[in-house]
Amino acid sequence: MSRRMSMSKITELSGSLDKIARFLAYHTPRPFRDFILPSYPYAINPAMLSFLTQAIDKNRGKGGAVCEIGVGWGHTSVFLLEHMRSAGYNDRVVFVDTFRGFTSESMDHEVAYRGKLKREIDRFGYASPKVYEKNLRKQGYDYFEVIPGDCEEVDWARIGTLAVVLLDVDLYLPTIRTLEAIYPLLVPGGVILIDDCQPDQTFDGALQAYSEFTKARNLPFEIVGGKAGLITG
């Protein structure tokens, strides 16, 4: 009987501690509370994430790689890898980033020709390719390649055909030049999703590049999730 009472008390105590932890989490003063409460970790919206998973499903087995260009903190990278792992896909996955932020040429162009302030666009130089790759492998992902470097200088021919691409490099020059390099590599039905295609934003260089690229090739102008330009092979 005493043992049963003891286990009952332990269960009751555990429930009480859980309630206390929840109370503290929701009543801790800021900024500490922001580190505890749930938050949306992705830089792209749910409609875009949903579109990407559907595009991967439709283009699986075509021989083209799934590619994210501009990986940020890696949250979307994990999402894409987890979708492919849970679905049992073994298509090639490639991640490309400078891991040093934007190039000087790209930022200078935004300042000189697009009226941007350098202090507003000089971001994202905080990552390390080794740490990024190590973190992905610690979570059990091992069927991917990380390419540190400027996406404008990547040897895309070596990578081969592409099935699904998330292009998230924000500024005009890297967006337009990368589109010119990767569009010919799309498999039939493959897609490129270009983030930040919204007007009057700090990073609306992507929209200008997308608009010019589609117009020059008489391609449809389509926006996914209110902010991503779509190109289909």
DSSP, residue by residue, 112-159: HHH---HHHH---TT--HHHHHHHHHHTT--S-EEEES-TTT--HHHH
Which runs of E-coded beta strand occur in 151-226? 162-167, 186-194, 222-224
pTM: 0.85
Q: What is the pLDDT of residue 1?
A: 44
Predicted local distance difference test score (pLDDT) of residue 36 = 63
Residue 162: pLDDT band by 50, 70, 90 thresholds?
A: very high
Sign of CA dihedral 209, 194, 101, 93: negative
* Cα→Cα distances 72→25, 97, 128, Å: 27, 8, 10
Distance CA 73, CA 79 (A): 12
CA distance 187 to 153: 21
Domain covering 46-232: architecture: 3-Layer(aba) Sandwich (3.40)
**What is the chain's Cα-based Rg?**
22
Angle between helices 75-87 and 46-59 (to 10 degrees): 40
Does the pLDDT of residue 165 top 70, yes or no?
yes
Q: How confident is the model at residue 124 (pLDDT cuts 50, 70, 90)?
A: confident
Report cis status (omega within 30 of 0) of the bond before 174.
Answer: no
Average pLDDT, the chain: 89
Tell me if 110 sits within 8 A of 116, measured CB to CB.
Answer: yes
Pairing mode, strands 222-224 and 228-232 = antiparallel
